[in-house]
Amino acid sequence: MVSGDFYYYLATLPTPGELGSEPPVSPAQLLELVANQRDLSESLRALFLRNDLLQRESLLAGEVAEAKPIVLTPAQARNEAPLPAYLVRKADDSPMRIVPVDDLWELYFRRAILVARQSRCAFLAAWVGREVAVRNALVIARAERLGLEAKDYVVATDLEGPEEEPSSLISEWESATDPLAGTRVLIRAEWAWVAEHAGWFKFNLDEIVAYAAQLVLLERWQRLAETLPAETGASSH
């Protein structure tokens, strides 16, 4: 696909607002819109799957009453049906981790980077590197607090991107007053990162995937708003 074809999508999609605003379209609607574009569709599915897995974790932990997955089926999100094969640990894989869900995240990140490379989506590849780096930095901080060996809990360390923000981000996250406020810290940081790395006005695949990342963050922020009092002022976003 040439950049002119992507221009059609980007010119017709409504511009997202700031954090706290309504998503102008849903991730599912965007995925349906580009369903006939294989590389783009696969890149979006890889990005959206992370949000599905986060919702699945929250649902299984009893933190939320329901999940609204995009890539997974509702039954998969409820752990009532097997996950896609690429998320299932094989018998000949490396030894099972102490926390089984770490195996799932390792497989997810490796699937996402594979899709990024196959579709030549530089944004998705960089996003995976950042997500692995941030996740592992959070794990290390938690492990140090609990007196555990961090190496037993980090995942896909070879995929970590350059350390652009984890140390300062972790400090801000640790200073949050409660877990939900800490999650907002992480969402704000990712929102800023997406804006910086999206390559706006290049009208390519990367820009649409970055747009999709914004939609996911707007939806996550809205879900948090149901349990965390709203903050006031545009500067808080």
Q: What is the pLDDT of residues 94-146, one digit of tens each?
A: 667 788 899 999 999 999 999 999 999 999 999 999 999 999 999 999 999 99
- Say which residue, 199 or 31, is predicted with more confidence: 31
pLDDT attached to residue 201: 64
- Alpha-carbon Rg for the chain, nearest whole angstrom, is 18
Phi, psi (deg, nearest 5) at residue 220: -65, -40
Distances (CA, A) of 2 to 21, 75, 125: 32, 38, 20
Helix (H, G, I), strand (E, B) or coil at 6: helix
Neighbours of 104 (CB within 10 A): 19
Q: What is the pLDDT of residues 152-208, one digit of tens each?
A: 999 999 999 987 777 889 999 999 989 889 999 999 999 999 999 987 767 789 999
Apex 29 CA angle, 27 and 34, nearest 5:
95
**Strand blocks (E) in 137-224:** none
pLDDT attached to residue 3: 47
Of 86, 45, 51, give the one whose Cα is nearest residue 209: 45
Q: What is the value of pTM for the model shown?
A: 0.89
pLDDT attached to residue 14: 94
State the number of CA atoms in the 13 A half-sphere of 130 facing the CB. 20
pLDDT attached to residue 61: 92
**Strand blocks (E) in 26-175:** none
Of 70, 10, 73, give the one whose Cα is nearest residue 37: 10
Q: Which two tokens stand for residue 63?
A: 């933190």
Q: Which two tokens stand for residue 145?
A: 């607090």
* Burial of 48 from C-beta contacts in 10 A (0-12 / 13-18 / 19+): buried
Q: What is the mean pLDDT of residues 8-36?
A: 92
pLDDT attached to residue 190: 96
Q: What is the mean pLDDT of residues 67-76?
A: 96
Q: Which two tokens stand for residue 40?
A: 């783009």
d(CA 228, CA 222): 10
pLDDT attached to residue 236: 34
Contact 40, 59 (CB under 8 A): no
Which of 4-13, 76-85, 138-147 tops mean pLDDT? 76-85
pLDDT at 8 over 70: yes
- Say which residue, 234 or 69, is predicted with more confidence: 69
Distances (CA, A) of 131 to 4, 21, 155, 193: 30, 24, 11, 11
pLDDT attached to residue 166: 77
